[in-house]
Amino acid sequence: MTYAELHCLSSLSFLRGVASARVLFERAAALGYHALAITDECSFAGIVRALEASRATGLPLIVGTELALEDGARLVLLAEDRAGYATLCRLITAARARAPKGRYEARWSDLEGDHVGVLALLCAVDRHGAVPAACRGWAARLATMLPGGAWLGVELHRGDRDAEALATCTGIGAATGLPLVAAGDVHMATRSQRALQDTVTTIRLGKSVTAAAGELFPNGERHLRAPTDLAALYPPALIAETLRIAARCRLDLGTLGCRPPLDSVPAGVAPAAWLRALVAEGAARRWPNGVPAPQAAQIDHELALIADLGYEAFFLTVHDIVAFARSRQILCQGRGSAANSVVCYALGITEVDPERGHLLFERFLSKERHEPPDIDVDFEHERREEVIQFIYARYGRDRAALTAAITTYRPRSAVRDVGRALDLDPDLIDRLARAMDGWGDAATMPTRLAETGIDTDTPAMRRLLVLAMQLVGTPRHLSQHVGGFVISAAPLAELVPVEPATMEGRTIIQYDKNDLSTLGLLKVDILALGMLSALRRTFDLIRRHHGVSLSMADIPAEDPATYAMLRRADTVGVFQVESRAQMAMLPRMRPQCFYDLVVQTAIIRPGPIQGGMVHPYLRRRQGREAPSYPSEAVKGVLERTLGVPIFQEQVMQLAVVAAGFSAGEADQLRRSMGAWERHGTMEHFRTRLLAGMAERGYTEGFAEQVFEMILGFGAYGFPESHAASFALLAYASAWLRAHYPAAFLAALLNAQPAGFYTRDQLLQDARRHGIATRPPDVNVSGWDSHLEGPGGRPLQPGDVRGAPVVRLGLREISGFRVDSAARLLAARSEMRFNDVADLARRAALDQRDLPLLADAGALAGLAGHRHVSRWVASGIEATLPLFGSTVEAAPMLRPPTPGEDMAANYAAMGLTPAGHPMALVRPALAGRGVATLDEARRAPHQRRMRVVGLIGLRQRPPAARGVTFLTLEDETAWLNVVVWPDLAEECAIALRSGGPVRVDGRIEHVDGVTHLIAAHVARLDRD
């Protein structure tokens, strides 16, 4: 006997089903099922992954959904064909549109009309095994709506009412003409997932397991059951009916496709001709003296392939979006594999000059791949919304929507939700959750729990740990992707269900971004990049205060001062090269030119690190090892990186020149690199690679070495095109920091959140470089930070009298509202404020605004120090302008101490305009053998040192095998600290400290990089 399951929920029914599509299909195939329907509730979110699992197992997929209607009826709707699929997309879209995010309202009226290609099962048995009294009426209504396409779904789960339910369903079927069919209401792959299924149900209901007991399934039978077990429950006719329904469902999801819009193409002009015209126009701009022959040939090659694959409209759509941004002076830049394309460069989508790089167009677009190109464009993060609104206005909300992102459980959220489900004490749950790694995996959870000191060897704690570990990685909800847009010529709701996003005015499709390529759907990523906002703001400040007009194109290339700064690793705030790991690499790399920066951007990634490529490259770059090449062909690929593959394109090119892969096959290899750990898809390529290299005379050892490098890139390796795009921004930000440091600092502050460091860390670094900063002042500050001359005088264009000073903006005051600042600035534009009463009256500030200004020191110029300012501000009352206002004279209040001033700054703004907290504790450290961090950095190699500082950054990257890296800071410098795994476990509480820590260790200077190798770490307050 064989069977087709027609009612099955995957884990993408979000806190209902608990098994992934892959697990469900593997289990169903092992049981000998004929087909499996995935019917997630009012959702197609799991369909693409089900399709992938279907293809992997060979078990046919039936596409469907489960809907709960307004009167309690539950239907399972299945798509017979493309028309039925489009109908289900529209039904789900309509139901989701009627309700807030995460809910839906489906109605019987949705089924009225012609629904060709839709089959329906009325779920006739409820959770407790009974047939609802209203079932007969529902069945009669459904039979009328979908004649010949409706069934009564009989779902039996070994309850004590199974026989009664079967008899009742038989009677209803006879009375209404609906045939009966067996179904499983599957929520699990196996019975062993019962505890997890109960847990997610209680999480979804917002109750504890005990409180939700009456709403849980009475047993564990809602799993994929063996056909022999089903035969014991159902009459043979009901089993056979599943096969007849499965035979009618012949939808091929591979035929969906998505036609991009042609809105930007002039009437009467063919898309191919318009694209060629725009490319020719752009190429003339890029190469005013004529397009070089290699680039002209590449343009012809790319345009021919684009036409062959039918992607002209897609490129025109992306060009349309970028052209709008540029027309509004919004900085933008394409990156990723699109930077391999000369067509994209000519269209202004990307900025990487093909003459400065090594293009591999097949990394971007390939005939053999049969996959749409992936174009990512970064926009200023503060102005991206303008671009998004343009897309909606241009193409309509029915044809443009963001892709979804499937949010899964992490250790911290899993512990919180399972803890609540088990009804644990809230304080205990909070303590346990805070001990978890925010981005760790399930394997780290027992260790993290043990570090709390809580007894984990109790039934409750063991249960918590087991369930939370099972929950990690399980889908939690469907959220909005950061910027992936699908734009179609036809309404999207016929292609994929669309639902409201949490953010007002946003809609999302139900497919995850990573699922789109499986169905051949075209997407463009409209991304936000803080550094682009910072660059534009820097240009504005330079023009306003220095009288110099700059753009990205005006920044001088290969500037010696910029590279000298990079070699010193003096890169706080510089795009991509400001992290601890990048700073540690810069003195070793010693970049001299732009291509060195491209390599620098790419080499500190898991791919090169896990592939063992970093140290060989450094040895060769430093002249300690000679590059070697097994053939001239390999030399042609690797010579630019000294015989070591750094980029994804090089791995692909190696497969072509050394193993005989075609360009398309090489791209399939690249795709498999990112999926091999998940799907185990690399063995085929290993055999092909080793055989191809053997045929061409390469040794087995070299072939294996190449394959191991490829596996390393599976973790994450940069394409060279992506690295080149980021290197452009890295160089631009480094040049601005080197030549206009005060303007760059002010722009970074105004563009927050952006980058690697907090605002306070940016200010601390600036002060170490001699850049003065001043606090907000209501008579001087704008909303944004700006530049002043020494003594507080305005900085005029061309002014060279002393270094510029950064005046902090009112935006830095926590809680101070934009509208309050706008009134303040408008009133001040008429006349400066005389006192706090004048400020309050003319700017209409109230007792919510004034204390915030006082606490931030912004009233010092009107009232005096903080204590007086707060007293005066608290005495201001709203009065009629006719009578003015009276302020009680402030008593003689003592000024705040430096420590009180600093604490108030941090409380009011999260930063301090002057000083560093460590300077306050320095006197107490005298005589205790504690060096400043600057002294430690200058100490001889291998010198034992004791330092005290604040932990500015803490990292434990996966590739570091448990090593923890700290960046300590004090009033004098930064210092990188290495903490070996055993010590990190021993000192875990100190490493998570928010206060000063004492570190004893040994100074190491290697290749210009300084580290303190920790021997002991302790909280200073525990000394």
Return the amino acid letter for 267: A
Instruction: Give the pLDDT band of residue 676 (cuts 50, 70, 90).
Output: very low
Mean pLDDT on 43-62:
95
Domain-embedded: residue 196:
yes
Residues 89, 212: one domain?
A: yes
What is the Cα–Cα distance from 51 to 59, expressed in whole angstroms?
10
pLDDT one-digit tens code per residue, 249-293: 999 998 787 788 888 899 999 999 999 999 999 999 999 999 999
Query: How many residues does the structure list for the chain?
Result: 1023
**965-991 pLDDT per residue, tens:** 999 999 999 999 999 988 988 888 888
**Which pTM was predicted?**
0.84
pLDDT digit string, tens, across residues 792-836: 667 766 665 568 899 999 999 999 999 999 999 999 999 999 999
**Six-digit token pair at 400?**
């443009």
Q: Is residue 491 part of a domain?
A: no
Task: Specify the pLDDT at position 854.
Answer: 96
What's the total number of domains in the chain? Answer: 5
967 shares a domain with 859: no
pLDDT for residue 787 = 94
Per the domain annotation, does 67 fall within a domain? yes
If pLDDT is split at 50, 70 and 90, which confidence band does 647 have?
confident
Pairing verdict, β 997-1006 and 1009-1019? antiparallel
Give the SS3 label for residue 223: strand
Give yes or no: residues 908 and 972 share one domain.
no
Contact 45, 478 (CB under 8 A): yes
Kindly state the DSSP code that residue 191 receives in the 8-state scheme: G
Residue 541 lies in a domain: no
- 3-class DSSP state for residue 408? strand
Q: Which tokens in the block code for residue 100?
A: 């807030």
State the pLDDT at residue 679: 43
* Residue where one domain finishes, among candidates 237, 255, 273: 255
- Report yes or no on 841 lying in a domain: yes
- Shared domain for 113 and 251, answered yes or no, is yes
Question: 937 with 909, same domain?
Answer: no
Asked if residue 679 belongs to a domain, the reply is: yes
Percent of all residues in the chain with a pLDDT value above 90, rounded to a whole number: 65
Q: Of the candidates 739, 746, 740, which has an alpha carbon nearest to the alpha carbon of residue 807?
A: 746
Residue 50: other Cβ atoms inside 10 A:
26
Domain final residue, candidates 205, 236, 255:
255
Domain final residue, candidates 450, 472, 494: 472
Rounded Cα distance, 809 and 823, in Å: 15
Smallest CA-to-CA distance from 724 within 564, 588, 601, 565 is with 601
Q: Are 78 and 47 in contact (CB under 8 A)?
A: no
553 Cβ contact partners less than 8 Å away, ≥ 6 residues apart: none
Distance CA 974, CA 947 (A): 11
Quick check: is 168 in a domain? Answer: yes
| Residues 701 and 831 occupy one common structural domain | no
Q: How confident is the model at residue 712 (pLDDT cuts 50, 70, 90)?
A: low
Task: Give the residue carrying structure tokens 């593959």.
Answer: 645
Domain hosting 657: range is 612-713
The whole-angstrom separation of Cα 322 and Cα 333 is 9
Q: Clarify whether residues 668 and 682 are in a common domain.
A: yes
Q: What's the pLDDT at 991?
A: 86
Burial class (CB in 10 A: 0-12, 13-18, 19+), 206: exposed
Residue 788 has pLDDT above 60, yes or no: yes
Predicted confidence (pLDDT) at residue 609 exceeds the cutoff of 90: no
Residues 6+ apart with CB under 8 A from 662: 368, 656
Q: Are residues 120 and 231 in the same domain?
A: yes
Please check whether residues 996 and 893 belong to one and the same domain.
no
Could you tell me if 621 and 659 lie in one domain?
yes
- Residues 220 and 77 occupy one common structural domain: yes
Q: In this predicted model, what pLDDT tens digit does every residue of 939-968 receive, in sequence order?
A: 999 999 999 999 988 888 766 778 899 999
Residue 331 in tokens: 């900085």
Residues 244 and 144 in one domain: yes
- What CATH number is attached to the domain comprising 111? 3.20.20.140
pLDDT band at 453 (very low <50, low <70, confident <90, very high): confident
Q: How confident is the model at residue 683 (pLDDT cuts 50, 70, 90)?
A: low
User: What DSSP element (H or E) covers 554?
Assistant: none
Phi, psi of 477 (to 5 degrees): -165, 170
Average pLDDT over residues 707-733: 79
Is 956 domain-assigned? yes
**Cβ(117)–Cβ(84) below 8 Å:** yes
